[in-house]
RNA sequence: GAUUCCGUAGCUCAGCAGGUAGAGCAAUACACUUUUAAUGUAUGGGUCCUGGGUUCGAAUCCCAGCGGACUCACCA
């Protein structure tokens, strides 16, 4: 298209017709002596929500001067009168502009030029006037003053909703929504709601932990040695120290050092990084809550966890049950507890507790589960559980007592040889939390690390590194401790009934855009 | 990483037995002083993701690439 010389294009981007028109509107506003980007503060008396909830018709006489600010989301111009909708953080409110009341004198520019011609959907404006109810019953603000707060140069998608809330011309392309979350948030109010709920969920958790006297702490994101989980890390380099550093895959080992140091309850909402595949359940960076409490064990941690989740559900939904996909899930405590062995045995109809590797292999074959020769007994159990049991655990369930080979940081079971005191909380067929009575025997921990090293030598890319400083800390003595990690994004997905992790992250990881932003 | 599907106007989409692009909303102009998916009339707006190929002719068919969605596999 022909480029208007008054409207410089951005690098590598040809302006659309609507962008050119908006730039011209900007110039017209300036010519009228209006600053499209004023610096002075705009004093608001109310939010749109406050007006909606507190205005009463019989008190209309006292609502003669309110001021509100927001983004213009629609305009209905009918000659000398117009309606428009203003959206702020709390919602939308209709404003009514009447030419002769907005412009009592001879100069009608403010209405005819500024509002009708140079104002666009997406612009930020401020309005002062009186509250009233229209003939159709809509609470509105009758504008006596109208000021520009910020001009939008790009057209916003115009999403319309009818009386039943049916959406027309929705802004739905997932790629555009994730890449331009700012636009998504403006036009899709339910998106904002998801993130408000996520924030509220974390607030409830923080209150729960603080109330119990645990200390919120911060530990290194850049670690010389990654640990605390089995995953491939992101690697970077520190120039001054000339050494490799890893972005943490977990903070477990640091929090336990703090327990050694004498804190009796520590927690951190940790951003962790794992250099692995992406899917609707996986983002390269994600948030995990880790909590460690001295003098407690995993039984206590189960009680704590179910109390926490029930509290979150109640805070977000005013009831313990919520709809997640096609299931109704009840977070009311207590939750079912079942051992890993029993969970599998129930499903396959024969006891797996004493089965050896060969028996498990036959079992896997019988259920046509793919296995390979390198799998040991623990891995086979894990696979059987993941294939046969986990997808069917819809209601919150604590699965307990895992083989020691799968859990190098968990304490040996007090009376079941070969197992550790560990539980995973499964909900809606997915793992929500992982917890143990923490291993505090430094000699046992060293042996576990060495077993991991052996796995690494055999080529397991996720085998743990041996953390000599962590062992030194344990050798100074760590009290018996219960610890847990909760996937915050997964929990947020569940609590907001979101199908994808991208829906609970403001800016999910995407491939870079190529050109022409 | 593998499979399937998708990429056309600012947004949502149609167009695909190959003949050179269409709707609604948004935009522009006019009318309209309580409308609400406002309405009426008129108008403008497109490297049809990119690059090759087949063809007289490609948005449409073929190949490759880029981006996205979905399902699957590992991990939270």
Q: Which nucleotide is nearest to A98 (CA to C1')?
A: B33
| Predicted confidence (pLDDT) per residue in A285-323, tens digit | 999 999 999 999 999 999 999 999 999 999 999 999 999
Protein-proximal positions, strand B, CB < 7 A: 1, 9-13, 24-29, 31-39, 44-47, 66-76
Distance A17 CA to B12 C1' (A): 19
How confident is the model at residue A427, as a pLDDT?
A: 93
Residue spans of beta strands (DSSP E) within A275-384: 285-294, 321-324, 327-330, 336-339
Which nucleotide is closest to the Cα of A176 by its C1'?
A: B68
Containing H/E element for A360? helix A357-366
In angstroms, the CA of A177 and the C1' of B64 are apart by 29
Check whether A6 has a pLDDT greater than 60: no
Q: Write down the residue that tokens 């020691």 correspond to.
A: A404
Quick check: A263 pLDDT over 90?
yes
Is residue A13 very low, low, confident or very high in pLDDT (cuts 50, 70, 90)? low
Residue A277 banded pLDDT, cuts 50, 70, 90 = confident
Q: What is the pLDDT of residue A203?
A: 98
Q: How far is the CA of A174 from the C1' of B69 (A)?
A: 8
Region A429-451 average pLDDT: 95
Nearest nucleotide from residue A502 CA, by C1' atom:
B69
pLDDT band with cut points at 50, 70 and 90 for residue A356: confident
Look up the protein residue whose alpha carbon has the minimum distance to the C1' of B26. Answer: A158
Is residue A374's pLDDT more than 90?
no
Q: What's the pLDDT score for residue A8? A: 38
Nucleotide nearest to A80 (CA to C1'): B33
Q: What pLDDT does A338 receive?
A: 95
Burial class (CB in 10 A: 0-12, 13-18, 19+), A499: exposed
Taking CA atoms, A220 is separated from A226, A232, A250, A347, A353, in Å, by: 11, 18, 10, 42, 40
Three-state secondary structure call for residue A129: strand
Is residue A404 within 8 Å of residue A418, measured between CB atoms? yes
pTM (predicted TM-score): 0.92
Tokens 């915050």, located at residue: A488
CA distance A471 to A477: 10
User: Nearest nucleotide to A288 by CA–C1' distance?
Assistant: B76
The secondary structure of A230-268 as a DSSP string is: -SPPPEEEETTTTEEEEE-S--HHHHHHHHHTT-SEEEE
ipTM: 0.88
Per-residue pLDDT band at A2 (split at 50, 70, 90) = very low
pLDDT level of residue A373 (50, 70, 90 thresholds): confident
CA A123 to C1' B63, whole Å:
47
Backbone angles phi, psi at A71, to 5 degrees: -95, 135
Give the pLDDT confidence of A110-143 residue by residue, as tens digits.
999 999 999 999 999 999 999 999 999 999 999 9
Give pLDDT tens digits for A139-165.
999 999 999 999 999 999 999 988 888
Closest residue to B35 (CA, C1′): A83
CA end-to-end span of chain A, whole Å?
18
> Is the pLDDT confidence value at A458 over 90?
no
Question: What does the pLDDT read at residue A511?
Answer: 80
Cα separation, A35 vs A26, whole angstroms: 9
Confidence grade of residue A4 (pLDDT, cut at 50, 70, 90): very low
Question: Å between A441 CA and B31 C1'?
Answer: 86
Query: In the numeric block, which tokens belong to residue A354?
Result: 């004493």
Share of chain A above pLDDT 90, in %: 74
What would the pLDDT profile of A62-107 be if each residue is shown by its tens digit?
999 999 999 999 999 999 999 999 999 999 999 999 999 999 999 9
For a pLDDT cut of 70, what percent of chain A falls above it?
97
**What SS3 class is residue A78?**
strand
Contact at 8 Å (CB) between A210 and A258?
A: no
The one-character DSSP state at A105 is S
């Amino acid at each position: 298209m022909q480029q208007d010389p008054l409207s410089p294009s951005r690098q590598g981007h040809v302006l659309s017709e609507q962008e050119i028109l908006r730039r011209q509107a900007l110039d017209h506003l300036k010519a009228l002596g209006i600053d499209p980007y004023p610096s002075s503060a705009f004093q608001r008396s109310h939010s749109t929500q406050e007006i909606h909830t507190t205005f009463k018709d019989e008190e209309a006489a006292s609502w003669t001067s309110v001021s509100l600010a927001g983004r213009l989301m629609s305009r209905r111009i009918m000659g000398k009168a117009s309606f428009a909708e203003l959206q702020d953080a709390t919602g939308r409110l209709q404003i009514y502009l009447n030419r002769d009341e907005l412009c009592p004198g001879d100069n009608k520019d403010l209405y005819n030029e500024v509002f009708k011609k140079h104002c666009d959907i997406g612009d930020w404006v401020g309005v002062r006037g009186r509250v009233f109810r229209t003939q159709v019953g809509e609470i509105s603000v009758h504008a006596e003053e109208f000021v520009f707060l910020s001009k939008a140069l790009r057209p916003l998608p115009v999403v319309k909703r009818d009386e039943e809330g049916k959406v027309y011309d929705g802004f739905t392309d997932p790629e555009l929504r994730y890449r331009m979350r700012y636009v998504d948030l403006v036009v899709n109010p339910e998106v904002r709601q998801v993130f408000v709920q996520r924030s509220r969920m974390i607030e409830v958790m923080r209150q729960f932990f603080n109330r119990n006297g645990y200390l919120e702490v911060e530990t290194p994101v850049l670690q010389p040695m990654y640990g605390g989980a089995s995953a491939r890390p992101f690697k970077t380099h520190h120039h001054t120290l000339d050494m490799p550093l890893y972005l943490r895959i977990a903070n477990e080992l640091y929090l336990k050092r703090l327990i050694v140091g004498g804190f009796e309850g520590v927690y951190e909402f940790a951003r962790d990084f794992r250099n692995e595949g992406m899917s609707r359940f996986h983002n390269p960076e994600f948030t995990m809550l880790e909590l460690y409490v001295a003098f407690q064990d995993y039984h206590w941690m189960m009680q704590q966890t179910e109390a926490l989740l029930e509290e979150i559900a109640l805070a977000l939904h005013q009831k313990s049950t919520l709809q997640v996909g096609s299931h109704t899930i009840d977070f009311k405590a207590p939750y079912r507890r079942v051992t890993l062995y029993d969970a599998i045995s129930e499903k396959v109809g024969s006891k797996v507790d004493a089965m050896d590797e060969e028996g498990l292999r036959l079992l896997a074959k019988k259920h046509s589960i793919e296995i390979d020769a390198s799998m040991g007994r623990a891995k086979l159990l894990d696979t059987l559980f993941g294939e046969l049991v986990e997808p069917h655990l819809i209601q919150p369930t604590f699965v307990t007592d895992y083989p020691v080979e799968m859990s190098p940081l968990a304490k040996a079971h007090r009376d079941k040889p070969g197992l550790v005191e560990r539980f995973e909380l499964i909900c809606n067929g997915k793992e929500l939390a992982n917890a143990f009575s923490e291993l505090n025997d430094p000699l046992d921990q060293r042996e576990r690390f060495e077993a991991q090293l052996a796995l690494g030598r055999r080529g397991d890319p996720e085998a743990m590194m041996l953390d000599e400083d962590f062992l030194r800390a344990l050798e100074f003595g760590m009290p018996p401790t219960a610890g847990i990690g909760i996937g915050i994004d997964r929990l947020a997905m569940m609590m907001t009934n979101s199908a994808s992790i991208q829906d609970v992250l403001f800016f999910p990881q995407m491939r870079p855009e190529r050109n022409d932003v």
